[in-house]
Amino acid sequence: MVPALGQLAPEFTLPSDRGDISLSAYRGKTNVLLAFYPGDFTPGCTSELADFAADWQRFRDLNAEILGISSDTVEKHREFSQSLGLPFPLLSDRRKEVIRAYGVNDLLVGCKRAYFLIDLQGKLRYRHIEALPLFKRDDSELLQELRKLKPVTLDPKLSS
């Protein structure tokens, strides 16, 4: 089931090409773009993640971290990341627990191409799940959605 907008995003910890990463580590610090994608080294995913790398500073300027997620292995992520020079981590969801929690499991390709923006409070503020994995959102659309997120004053107890 796809999480509803305005609700807390489903929490997770996954291994990545840069060590274990927990979504909660970003709460109170930065917005997060979860970018689910079918697989490393495929033409569409290579293009998509290369675009994210090219626009990475624009995402950072809007106080956002990009987390790429697929069911590929950490080793394959490491090779893929190095081949593209990615400045953001790629998370491995081999058991597809997070993929299912976000409602993007696909029997044919393993994982649908999908985007979820999570705000500083950990709430889901935007989601788009592609009908076909051939398509992707343009970074300008995702950056526009990030601009809509208003800075919030957090309870100091939440950020500790």
111 catalytic residue (yes or no): no
- pLDDT tens-digit map of 97-153: 999 999 999 887 789 999 999 999 999 999 999 876 666 777 888 999 999 986 544
The 3-class SS string of the chain reads: CCCCCCCECCCCEECEECECEEHHHHCCCCEEEEEECCCCCCHHHHHHHHHHHHCHHHHHHCCEEEEEEECCCHHHHHHHHHHHCCCCCEEECCCCHHHHHCCCEECCCEECCEEEEECCCCEEEEEEECCCCCCCCCHHHHHHHHHCCCCCCCCCCCCC
Instruction: Report the pLDDT averaged over residues 86-107.
Output: 95
User: CATH code for 13-144?
Assistant: 3.40.30.10
In the chain, where the domains are located = 13-144
Model pTM score: 0.89
Choosing from 45, 64, 118, 120, the catalytic residue is 45
